[in-house]
Amino acid sequence: MTAPAKETETSTVAVRVRDLTVCFRTQEGSLPAVSRVNLDLVRGQITGLVGESGSGKSTLALTLLNAVPAPGQVAGSVEIDEVGDVLELRKGALRKVRGASIGYVFQASQNSLNPLKRVGKQLLDLGRSHGERDSRALVGRARALLDDMGLDATRVLSSYQHELSGGMRQRVGIVFALLLNAHVLILDEPTTALDMLSQAQVMEIIRRVHESRHLTTLIISHDMSVIGDLADRMAVMYAGRVVEEGPTASVLATPRHPYTRALLTAMPRITGDIAGAKALPGRPPDLTSIPRKGCVFEPRCPLATPDCLSEEPPDTYAGDHRFACFVTAGEAQ
């Protein structure tokens, strides 16, 4: 894929991902989980990354922290405002950046909190490990954040992780990520495993916190409706590639890539004609079954032509909206 033809001005982009590739060694050679991805996170905006299992979205999120597990090999660059290329940093410098510049919120159901320590103690540990000596100030900030989240600060700080509900743990995770005043926030599946009401609550909190602290936020989810509601811009990933990206309203109203279109028709919706819904044939590919040549979506694509087998489609631009498809590139607006 070529670099975007339109370079957005430096001052408006907080995170610039260029030509990012993450490969894993398998018995069939070195296979890419993320392949030549270009992505800009615009400062002050919420960007959503939609993808299913095997799409590489979690791996991509981890590269922003330079935290891809060992056997993975990363190539390309991830430039973060005021930090530089995260992939060039090691050890001490990297540890400082994680938490202080970039906050990462894990999925609540992954139980990333230490089950043997109270929440308050873990927050203090986090602060101290970043050289923050003033415990009072830390606790004060934590309390303020917890209040913002609509939680009973005193109770939560003295609780163990298993004493909190899923929605509460998710919110505590956000507090951890923001405690050190990061300006980039990454949320990995923030609403998965939450019921509708808790999900709406967490989404509202994300929106509020994003606005009040002027963050640059990246939300990763397999649920397009969450992204479609929250995100200002969205990117759709399939088999390690970003197949479509642009302002959310534009991507949803006029989806250009056949996968995006197929996802929208295959998504159960509360309104609209149920007869129009069509299931996607096949299944999302895993690392070993991604086609090596040609468009990765070709095996499941209703619009596939023989040309789609020969090479990967380049990005086409329709204003601020880019997508990678030979066939739809030729369609009229």
- Scan residues 162-221 and list those touching other proteins (CB under 8 A): 166-167, 195-201, 203
Stretch that binds other proteins, among 90-98, 140-148, 178-186, 244-252 (CB under 8 A): 244-252
**Rounded to the nearest 5°, which phi and psi values hold at 103?**
-105, 135
Binding test (CB under 8 A) with other proteins, winner from 88, 147, 286, 307: 286
Q: Give the Cα separation of 33 and 22 in Å (integer).
A: 6
Binding test (CB under 8 A) with other proteins, winner from 77, 112, 122, 225: 225
Helix (H, G, I), strand (E, B) or coil at 284: coil
List all residues 6 or more positions away from 305 whose beta carbon is below 8 Å from its beta carbon: 326, 327
Helix (H, G, I), strand (E, B) or coil at 219: strand
Rounded-to-10 torsion of CA 132, 137, 141, 147: 150
Residue 287 near other proteins by CB under 8 A: yes
Q: Give the Cα separation of 249 and 251 in Å (integer).
A: 6
Binding test (CB under 8 A) with other proteins, winner from 101, 229, 299, 329: 229
- DSSP-derived secondary structure for 92-135: HHHHHHHHHTEEEE--GGG--S-TTS-HHHHHHHHHHHTT---H
Residue 44 near other proteins by CB under 8 A: no
CB of 135 to other proteins, least distance (A): 30
CB of 82 to other proteins, least distance (A): 29
Q: Which two tokens stand for residue 75?
A: 């190539």
Binding test (CB under 8 A) with other proteins, winner from 262, 295, 301, 324: 262
* 127 versus 246: smaller Cβ distance to other proteins: 246
* 116 versus 197: smaller Cβ distance to other proteins: 197
Stretch that binds other proteins, among 17-25, 76-84, 90-98, 322-330 (CB under 8 A): 17-25
Binding test (CB under 8 A) with other proteins, winner from 4, 42, 44, 52: 52
- Residue 72 burial (10 A CB sphere; 0-12, 13-18, 19+): middle
Q: Where are the beta strands (DSSP E) in 179-240?
A: 184-188, 216-221, 233-238
Q: Which two tokens stand for residue 216?
A: 């640059």
Binding test (CB under 8 A) with other proteins, winner from 40, 45, 54, 99: 54
Cα-based angle 68, 235, 315 (whole degrees, multiple of 5): 100
Stretch that binds other proteins, among 37-45, 98-106, 119-127, 252-260 (CB under 8 A): 252-260
What DSSP designation does 241 have?
E
Residue 249 near other proteins by CB under 8 A: yes
* 3 versus 249: smaller Cβ distance to other proteins: 249
- Scan residues 103-162 and list those touching other proteins (CB under 8 A): 150
* 139 versus 280: smaller Cβ distance to other proteins: 280
User: For the stretch 322-332, what's the b/e string if a residue is b when 16 or more beta carbons lie within 10 angstroms of its beta carbon?
Assistant: bbbbbbbbeee
* 71 versus 306: smaller Cβ distance to other proteins: 71
Q: Name the residues that contact other proteins, by CB under 8 A.
A: 22, 24-28, 33, 52-54, 56, 58-59, 68-69, 71-72, 150, 166-167, 195-201, 203, 222-226, 228-230, 248-255, 262-263, 266-272, 274, 277-280, 283-284, 286-289
